[in-house]
Amino acid sequence: MGSSASPDRLGRALRDLRLSVTDRCNFRCPYCMPRDVFGSDHPFVPRSELLTFEELTRLVAIFARLGVRKVRLTGGEPLLRRDIESLVAMIAAIGGIDDVAMTTNGSLLTKHAAGLRAAGLSRVTVSLDSVDPVVFAAMSDTKVALSDVLDGIAAARDVGLSPVKLNAVIQRGVNDDGVVGLADYARCEGLVLRFIEYMDVGMSNHWVRDQVVPSAELIDTIGAVHSLVPAPPTIPGEVARRWTYADGGGEIGVISSVTEPFCGDCTRARVTATGELFTCLFAEHGRDLRAALRGGDSDDAIASLINGVWAARDDRYSELRHEGVADAARPEMSYLGG
Higher-confidence position of 161 and 1: 161
Residues near 326 by beta carbon (within 8 Å), at least 6 away in sequence: 282, 317, 318, 320
Q: Which pLDDT does position 307 carry in this prediction?
A: 95
Query: Of the given ranges (38-42, 83-87, 135-139, 267-271), which has the lowest mean pLDDT?
Result: 38-42
Say yes or no to pLDDT of 120 above 90.
yes
Residue 23 has pLDDT above 60, yes or no: yes
Of 29-43, 63-77, 149-163, 194-208, least confident by mean pLDDT is 194-208
DSSP string over 120-181? T--EEEEE---SSHHHHHHHHTSSS-HHHHHHHHHHHHHTT--S-EEEEEEBTTTTGGGHHH
Mean per-residue pLDDT over the chain, rounded: 89
- 46, containing H or E segment: none
Q: Which of 28-32, 209-213, 286-290 comes out lowest in average pLDDT?
A: 209-213
Nearest to 254 by CA among 233, 270, 235: 233
Q: Say yes or no to pLDDT of 64 above 70.
A: yes
Share of the chain above pLDDT 90, in %: 68
Closest CA relative to residue 204, chosen from 74, 321, 44, 331: 331
pLDDT value of position 163: 86
Average pLDDT over residues 232-248: 84
Alpha carbons within 13 A on the beta-carbon side of 147: 0
144 contacts 128 by C-beta, under 8 angstroms = no
pLDDT over 60 at 7, yes or no? yes
pLDDT at 1 over 50: no
What's the rounded Cα separation, in Å, for the pair 230 and 50? 43
Biggest CA-to-CA distance, the chain? 59
Domains and CATH numbers, the chain: 16-336 (3.20.20.70)
The confidence score (pLDDT) of residue 86 equals 98
User: Is the pLDDT confidence value at 322 over 90?
Assistant: no
Mean of pLDDT values over 38-47:
89
Q: Which amino acid is at 205?
A: N
pLDDT at 264: 64
pLDDT value at position 324? 60
Interatomic CA distance for residues 74 and 106, integer angstroms = 12
**With bands split at pLDDT 50, 70 and 90, how would you rate the model's confidence at 326?**
low
What is the per-residue pLDDT for 285? 83
More confident residue, 49 or 239: 49
Give CA separation, 285 vs 108, 205, 268, 279, in Å: 32, 19, 16, 9
List, for residues 247-300, the tens digit of each pLDDT value: 998 999 998 776 666 576 789 999 999 999 998 887 778 999 999 999 999 999
Phi, psi for residue 333 in degrees, rounded to 5: -65, -30
pLDDT for 239 beyond 80:
no
Q: How far does Cα 272 stand from its chain's mean position?
A: 12
Q: Model confidence at 205, in pLDDT bands (50, 70, 90)?
A: low
DSSP structure class, residue 212: B
User: Is the confidence at residue 327, as pLDDT, over 60?
Assistant: no
Position 19 pLDDT exceeds 90: yes
Share of the chain above pLDDT 70, in %: 86
Residue 107 DSSP symbol = T
> What angle do the packed helices 146-158 and 109-119 form, to 10 degrees?
20
Amino acid at 298: S
Amino acid at 204: S
Q: What are phi and psi of 304, to 5 degrees?
A: -65, -40
User: Any residues with CB less than 8 A from the CB of 62 and at least 6 apart, and which?
Assistant: 299, 302, 303, 306
